[in-house]
Structure 1
Amino acid sequence: MNMDSLDHLILKEAPPLDPAWLAYEEEASLQAPKEAHALPLNRQPVYVEECRQLNARMLAPGALYHHLSHVSTQQLTTASNLDGSAIPLLRFFDGSVEPASKGEGVVVIYYHGGGLYVGEADSEELSCRRIVSDFAGATVYSVGYRLMPGFPASNCVSDSLDAFDHVRALHPSARKLVLVGSSSGGQLAATVSQLAPRGSFHGVVLRCPVTSDGGSSLDLVPERLRRAYTSASPSFVTSLLGVFGRAVPRDGLERMPLEAGAEELGGMPRTWVQVCSNDTLYSDGVCYAMALREAGAEVRVEVVRGWPHTFWLMAPGLARAVEAEREMVEGLIRFHDHAFSWGSKKNARAFSSTLVPASPASSSSEADSPNSAIEQLPNALNGSQAASSSSPETSNTVDSIEHNNGMTDEIDEKIQQLKEQHGMILQGEHGMVLREMSARAYIQLQTARKLRLLVAAAGF
């Protein structure tokens, strides 16, 4: 398996959808005909209200995400360099952190998704709140860029750049500045990363990003990457997203992020790409990672196998959605903490964390018992740490760890069993306090596994 080329990530067809997603899809009637809107402008306020109602439910007392409600918010604006229009910024921060510490911490600029047609600065606030809550000292600025069709796509880009410049000016002493974007927000984050001055930011996190117009025509994908661009096809279509085609190529933009040259991509800071295997934009993320890798940039690809496009936004209460959000925060932390270093550029490897779909809920009494899974956590954590220290050979490459270390495979199988049990607890009827407690324990277990792999990959 050639990890440098990332060819192992090419999917000719999408895998089966995870049973947990299929169950949710049926419960939420996502396959039912959706309300049609004659004009995209009519859809915008509907989408915004749907997002706000969902976020409010998830943050309410007793709800799964209520612990994120302590994160403070502040409405800000900056002026467009095009016409002076106000660009909304929603700041998320921990009000308990001393002001002197805030300016020196990690600053995240977040670009929401929505195809450049829908969404506002608060549409993905659960993700923004989680970053602040889980990443001590972080401040997040979510950008409310202008939308099509009321404004051209070029305004989306210029607003995103203006917001970037404004946040940089607000935090001249920030230790790290990281760009984060989901879906079309990933397109904007990638575009800003290519246009911003070198050295002005420290990392990029892309979640199911749009990087090309391959859904309109394969001719709009760079020729060297066309063999890998496979996801704009029926097997990747789900209830959340069809093939992403455009009436006007590239929405009228001069180019898409995937079309950048090697000289532009080669100087990029570390990039973390999260893709879903059952997503017509899967190849957008994978091909962009390939282009970065070819140009010599450090990149990691995280594959969420068996799940559709940005499902954590539609179903934030699912166990796998919680995990996907935690993985995103872990990706951010690696830009900040040198203890999480990926090693030298020579030894860095992009790898995928392809997760086995959770099996349907078992009827056994042990699996159904909330305490049985929680009581196994200390042993599982100790087992992960022991495996790291007792491995006969510690390789600098993650692929050799994943595929050549039998002890690692055995531990990963044990971890997967625990994941499935925790997933049942999270989706069971044991009460919200227990649900939250088991989620924390579950994430600790996942973090232990990732730390083991990362430390070994860095050669420590």
Structure 2
Amino acid sequence: MTLHPQIEEALQKLAAANLPPIHTLSPAEARAQMIAVVRARGSVPEPIRRAEDRTVPGPAGPIPVRLYWPEADGPLPVLVYYHGGGHVIGDLDTHDVICRNLAAGAGALVMAVDYRMGPEHRFPAAVEDCWAALRWIAAEAPALGADPARIAVAGDSAGGNLAAVMALMARDADGLDLRMQVLIYPVADYGLVGESFERFDQGFGPLTRAAMEWFRGHYLRAPADAADWRASPIRAPSLAGLAPAMVVVAGCDVLHDDSVRYAEALRTAGVPVDWRLYPGMIHGFFGMTPMIDDAVAAQRVVTAELRRAFG
């Protein structure tokens, strides 16, 4: 599969910046680099009514979240968004434009969760924070002008991993029925298996196999954690009964096979799956609006499906 011309141009600009590979950096350096790259895009989000930072109770202390209200009347459906970054980098600001666009497009109250990350807080800290935040908004939705009966989860990359895990936990919880799970090129298996880890290792953007091994090494406590379904949702004993899924797949991504395998596993388990492949796209393309046409198109597809799921 060849790169889309717009992606080729974006990668040429990235190469001109001469940024060091992620796996050669400290976590602090990698976080700063991601922030700089996102800022350099200069993306302008869709207008919303307002955004508000606050904290919600978590198992190890307050969890920072950001709430986005669209220009719509309530009670609003709710989308809980978990940012990507390998469970090591990324924050509320790196994914702010995505969340604003999803709030505007889906007409939903979006809550972005700034969960604890490795290596300072290793697995399963992120899972625990994400679950606490999801339970909080389910309980507090009416006070926020939202509908607790219409909640979906979404995330990209590591955030897609966490959204998938939240869907599993919600299935087994009382009183929390998700309408949808949106998994954008998710990490499905920290075993890092699949031909795409070799096929798209070099020349297809910053996410390489070495970068994925770096993320895994900083996130998991030990290699054995990869067998835990909370780290690798594809290894859950059963995927039956989960919320309907949309899986967004980048054609030229080391996580391509992860996305495909998880979509197939969900479908085999009887879960309705809307699988969308974007040929020529690389990992991270979903946030590259408005310069990448397929990023704009993918966000519109996601918000349209969320609207349908919310009814």
TM-score of the pair, normalised by structure 2: 0.86
Q: 1:155 to 1:300 in 2, by over 3 A?
A: same
Q: Is the 8 A contact 1:186 1:210 kept in 2?
A: yes
Contiguous gaps of at least 5 residues in structure 2? none
- Return the structure number with greater relative CO, CA threshold 8 A, min gap 6: 2
Correspondence for 1:210 among 168, 184, 187:
187
Distance 2:32 2:17 in 1: 22
SS of residue matched to 1:267:
coil
Which one has the bigger helix percentage? 1
Structure whose alpha-carbon radius of gyration is higher: 1
Q: Which amino acid counterpart does residue 19 of structure 1 have in structure 2?
A: P
SS of residue matched to 2:128:
helix
Aligned length: 292
SS of residue matched to 1:114:
coil
What is the aligned partner in structure 2 of residue 451 from structure 1? Answer: none
Deviation at 1:153, TM superposition (A): 1.9
What is the aligned partner in structure 1 of residue 243 from structure 2? Answer: 269
Q: 1:298 to 1:70 in 2, by over 3 A?
A: closer
What is the aligned partner in structure 2 of residue 356 from structure 1? Answer: none
SS of residue matched to 1:317:
coil
Deviation at 1:275, TM superposition (A): 0.5
Q: Share of identical aligned residues, percent?
A: 26
What is the aligned partner in structure 2 of residue 58 from structure 1? Answer: 43
Distance 1:77 1:168 in 2: 15
Matched, 1:24 2:1: no
Q: Is the 8 A contact 1:232 1:280 kept in 2?
A: yes
Correspondence for 2:277 among 282, 300, 303:
303
Residues 8-40 of structure 1: CA deviation (Å, up to 9, x unaligned): xxxxxxx11112211222234268452776421
Deviation at 1:201, TM superposition (A): 1.6
Contiguous gaps of at least 5 residues in structure 1? 1-14, 60-64, 219-228, 338-460
SS of residue matched to 2:116:
coil
SS of residue matched to 2:43:
helix
Residues 291-331 of structure 1: CA deviation (Å, up to 9, x unaligned): 11111111110000111112132464222221122122123
Q: Which amino acid counterpart does residue 123 of structure 2 have in structure 1?
A: A
Distance 2:19 2:199 in 1: 18
Matched, 1:79 2:50: no
Q: Which amino acid counterpart does residue 26 of structure 1 have in structure 2?
A: Q
Correspondence for 1:40 among 14, 20, 27:
27
Distance 1:20 1:251 in 2: 38
TM-score of the pair, normalised by structure 1: 0.59
Q: Is the 8 A contact 2:149 2:177 kept in 1?
A: no
Q: Is the 8 A contact 2:63 2:133 kept in 1?
A: yes
SS of residue matched to 1:140:
strand
Q: Which structure 2 residues correspond to residues 23-422 of structure 1 after superposition, within 5 A?
A: 23-29=9-15, 32-34=18-20, 38-51=25-38, 53-54=39-40, 57-59=42-44, 65=45, 68-81=46-59, 83=60, 85-94=61-70, 96-98=71-73, 101=74, 104-136=75-107, 138-171=108-141, 173-196=147-170, 197=173, 199-215=176-192, 218=193, 229-235=194-200, 237=202, 238-243=204-209, 244-245=212-213, 246-247=216-217, 248-249=222-223, 254-255=228-229, 256-262=232-238, 265-314=239-288, 316-337=290-311
